[in-house]
Amino acid sequence: MTVFYALAYLLAAVLFILGLKQLSSPKTARNGNFTAAAGMVIALGVTVPQLHVTAAGAIIILIGVVIGAAVGTIGARQVKMTQIPQMVALFNGAGGAAAALVAVAELVRFGPHPPLTEALPSVFSIVIGSVSFAGSLVAFAKLQELMTGTPITYPGQQLVNGLLAAAIFGFVIAVLAIASIPFSFLALMLLALILGVAFVLPIGGADMPVVISLLNAFTGLAVAASGFTLNNFALIVAGTLVGASGSLLTKLMSDAMGRSLGNVLFGAFGKVQAAPGAAAGKEGRTVRTGSVEDLATLLAYSRRVIIVPGYGLAVAQAQHAVRELADLLEKRGVEVNYAIHPVAGRMPGHMNVLLAEANVPYEQLKEMDEINDEFKDADVVLVVGANDVVNPAARNTPGSPIYGMPILNADQAKNIVFMKRSMRPGFAGIDNDLLYDPKTIMLFGDAKDSLTKLVNAVKAA
Amino acid sequence: MNSELLNEFTFFVLAVFVGIEVISKVPTMLHTPLMSGTNAIHGIILVGALVIAAGADSPVTIILGLLAVVLATTNVVGGFVVTDRMLEMFKGRQTTRTQEPVNPK
């Protein structure tokens, strides 16, 4: 029978790998999610008959599964598409906390002198799981705007975080060597929770996706560690898969921003921009603003229009309005495409999800490499709520914090229309020369309002 | 190092490489669903939560077990449902396209 169980866990692991593979193509992505879910059902299904259930155990399992399934289903169904990143953060935090609690329960069960091969992964799981849980909650609070999204810094912050890490290391040794101190691992858990909060506080709201991805990888590793404690093959393989792929995904995300992961996590980004003095001395320049009617005429009589959607579009929930404008233009024979920067929206791929929700045809969504050569042939580039991803400073100004980040060649188009709420810089905190370009026309206001006005004006044009 | 631990360590190392290899070909547009999908997969900690909850026999282990099962189930169910909601939209868009045979190009 144990052979059967082992083979079932192997099947589950294979399904997880196939699921991840299928998730890598738009055509099979949805099946990939089902494949992984099937793996989960199998892994859980063969776990249940192996349990030695006490009466109390049966009750808490029933209650726990019912509550968890209800919370998970309702949360996942009710959440708005723009709030996906913080929802993923919450689910990730739940997983991290569960991993830490499983490890605590194992240490309680082992009593005062657990063997090192059990204690070491348990302690690892407690620390990493707790950091992931607390960090995820802070990431959620920042994205949900329950707290300020700007980096929270104070003098000696690195020192405090370093001391926290050192204290945790000390407690790890203490728990492993002199585990007879009752509940010393609870103190360890508390310290790890504090470290999780302290770790995420100095990171800005716009960088939260990278942090969530990293914490997602952390939870995977914590789960893998629990697998070592429980000698469970499925936990080790699934947890490690997530840990490895999540780490790579985190790196890909920060690469797309043109920054190293270290810079995202420890850079306190706001300070970097002060050094090159990029924002100084630009007050004298003027920008050109246009009326809605002028812009509508410009758009309606163009041949090629490229829309560059950004973070501001997501915030204003303007994805439906932008699609309406695009449809209207296409009816008039204008060729409309969307240029999707890798970090558009709140996380890589987020913009595709938002535009998909608004039924924007798949072929119109062009990735950066695909469309960058087409900007020079475009009559109008409509930049909706984006800023840093079209900032030529990334190409031309070596001292700029975003120097080296790949950008969209919006500056090569014949006309550039910027829809922005104000002249405020993007999250990189630097001025955008493109705003002052003679080819650029500004349309200030909420993206959704402006787009709705444009739609009406185009209808009249 | 006993042989079981050695086996486990082998799986661990191989899984690291498989995880990196499988993900390296994912296009940017699928990164968000992918993160969400991997998030659901680490909900397999529910297996561990079930093991400790099943053996609960003291107030401490009962509380720990209940909390772990609730949190892990939330992770699994919420993770898969929210991923499916995202991917459903990719699919929905393709079907609406076939209903409109006129290509605007």
Residues A98 and A188 in one domain: yes
What does the mean pLDDT of chain B come to?
Answer: 83
Residue B23 forms part of a structural domain: no
Q: What is the Cα–Cα distance from A219 to A85, expressed in whole angstroms?
A: 16
Residues 6+ apart with CB under 8 A from A200: A134, A135, A138, A139, A142, A211
Contact B81 A17 (CB under 8 A): no
Residues A242 and A316 in one domain: no
Residue B46 forms part of a structural domain: yes
Total tally of structural domains belonging to chain B: 1
Total tally of structural domains belonging to chain A: 2
DSSP label at residue A376 = G
Residue B17 forms part of a structural domain: no
Q: What is the Cα–Cα distance from A22 to A18, expressed in whole angstroms?
A: 6
B104: closest chain A residue by CA: A330
**Domain ranges, residue A435:** 292-460
Residues A302 and A239 in one domain: no
Contact B17 A67 (CB under 8 A): no
Residues A235 and A310 in one domain: no
Residue B63 forms part of a structural domain: yes
Of A29, A95, A101, the CB nearest to B67: A101
DSSP label at residue A50 = G
Reference A235, options B60, B11, B97; nearest CA is B11
Residue A365 forms part of a structural domain: yes
Q: What are the structure tokens assigned to A336, written together?
A: 């409309």
On chain B, the residues whose CB falls within 8 A of the CB of A243 are 16, 19
Residues A393 and A263 in one domain: no
Nearest Cα of chain B lies from the Cα of A17 at a distance, in angstroms, of 7
Q: Is the minimum CB–CB distance between B27 and chain A shorter than 8 Å?
A: yes
- Measure the N-to-C terminal CA separation of chain B; round to a whole number of Å: 65
Residue B70 forms part of a structural domain: yes
Nearest Cα of chain B lies from the Cα of A94 at a distance, in angstroms, of 5
Alpha-helical segments (H) within A318-399: 319-331, 350-357, 368-371, 393-396
On chain B, the residues whose CB falls within 8 A of the CB of A86 are none
Residues A313 and A448 in one domain: yes
Of B28, B44, B89, the CB nearest to A348: B28
What positions of A carry a catalytic annotation? Answer: 388
Residue A44 forms part of a structural domain: no
Contact criterion met (CB below 8 Å) for A22 and A29:
yes
Contact criterion met (CB below 8 Å) for A138 and A175:
no
Find the CATH number of the domain harbouring A362.
3.40.50.1220
The pLDDT value recorded for residue A165 is 87
Residues A226 and A91 in one domain: yes
Residue A48 forms part of a structural domain: no
Q: Is the minimum CB–CB distance between B23 and chain A shorter than 8 Å?
A: yes
Residues A358 and A261 in one domain: no
Q: What are the structure tokens assigned to A201, written together?
A: 């506080």
Q: Is the minimum CB–CB distance between B10 and chain A shorter than 8 Å?
A: no
B26: closest chain A residue by CA: A24
- Which residue bears the tokens 């509940």? A183
Nearest Cα of chain A lies from the Cα of B45 at a distance, in angstroms, of 6
Burial A345-360 (b: 16+ CB within 10 A, else e): bbbbbbbbbbbbbbeb
Q: What is the Cα–Cα distance from A433 to B94, expressed in whole angstroms?
A: 38
Choosing from A267, A300, A330, the residue where a domain stops is A267
The pLDDT value recorded for residue A132 is 97
**DSSP one-letter string for A268-302:** -GGGGGGTTTTTTT-TT----B--HHHHHHHHHT-
Q: How many CB atoms lie within 10 A of CB A361?
A: 21
Residues A192 and A243 in one domain: yes
Contact A51 B38 (CB under 8 A): no
Backbone angles phi, psi at A420, to 5 degrees: -140, 155
Residues A300 and A207 in one domain: no
**DSSP one-letter string for A385-412:** S--GGG-THHHH-TTSTTTT-----GGG
In the predicted model, what is the mean pLDDT of residues B6-32?
86
Sequence-separated contacts (24+) of B88-93 with Cβ below 8 Å:
B88/A30, B89/A81, B89/A353, B89/A356, B89/A357, B90/A26, B90/A29, B90/A30, B90/A352, B90/A356, B90/A362, B91/A30, B92/A356, B92/A359, B93/A356, B93/A359, B93/A360, B93/A361, B93/A362
On chain A, the residues whose CB falls within 8 A of the CB of B60 are 108
- Which residue bears the tokens 């959620």? A140
- CB interface of B with A, residues 37-56, below 8 Å: 37-56
Reference A36, options A52, A13, A54; nearest CA is A13
Q: What is the Cα–Cα distance from A380 to A382, expressed in whole angstroms?
A: 6
**Domain ranges, residue B43:** 29-99
Contact A359 B74 (CB under 8 A): no
Choosing from A267, A284, A316, the residue where a domain stops is A267
Asked whether residue B57 carries a pLDDT value surpassing 80, the answer given is: yes
On chain B, the residues whose CB falls within 8 A of the CB of A235 are 44-45, 47-48
Contact A248 B25 (CB under 8 A): no
Residue B9 forms part of a structural domain: no
**Per-residue pLDDT of chain A in tens (461 residues, 90 and over written 9):** 688 999 999 999 999 999 999 988 878 889 999 999 999 999 999 999 999 888 889 999 999 999 999 999 999 999 888 788 889 999 999 999 999 999 999 888 887 777 888 888 999 999 999 999 999 999 999 888 888 777 787 777 778 888 888 888 888 887 777 655 556 778 888 999 999 999 898 887 778 888 999 999 999 999 999 999 999 989 999 999 999 999 998 888 777 666 778 877 776 544 443 333 334 444 456 788 888 888 888 898 899 999 999 877 877 788 889 999 999 999 989 999 999 887 777 677 778 888 888 888 878 888 888 899 999 999 999 999 888 888 888 888 877 777 777 889 988 999 999 888 877 766 666 778 888 888 888 888 888 888 998 899 888 87
**DSSP one-letter string for A111-139:** -S---HHHHHHHHHHHHHHHHHHHHHHHH
Residues 6+ apart with CB under 8 A from A352: A340, A365, B29, B30, B32, B90
Of B24, B37, B52, the CB nearest to A105: B52
Residue B14 forms part of a structural domain: no
Contact B40 A37 (CB under 8 A): yes
Q: What is the Cα–Cα distance from A454 to A448, expressed in whole angstroms?
A: 10
Residue B60 forms part of a structural domain: yes
Residue A4 forms part of a structural domain: no
On chain A, the residues whose CB falls within 8 A of the CB of B102 are none
Asked whether residue B105 carries a pLDDT value surpassing 80, the answer given is: no
The pLDDT value recorded for residue A277 is 37
Alpha-helical segments (H) within A144-271: 157-177, 184-200, 208-230, 233-256, 261-266
- Which residue type, as a one-letter code, is found at position A246? G
Q: What is the Cα–Cα distance from A32 to A161, expressed in whole angstroms?
A: 39
Helix or strand or coil: residue A337?
A: strand
On chain A, the residues whose CB falls within 8 A of the CB of B92 are 356, 359
Contact B56 A57 (CB under 8 A): yes
The pLDDT value recorded for residue A269 is 41
The pLDDT value recorded for residue A275 is 35
Nearest Cα of chain A lies from the Cα of B103 at a distance, in angstroms, of 10
Cβ-Cβ pairs closer than 8 A, A with B, add up to: 385
Residues A262 and A151 in one domain: yes
Per the model's pLDDT, the better-predicted residue between B99 and B83 turns out to be B83
- Measure the N-to-C terminal CA separation of chain A; round to a whole number of Å: 75
Residues A312 and A263 in one domain: no
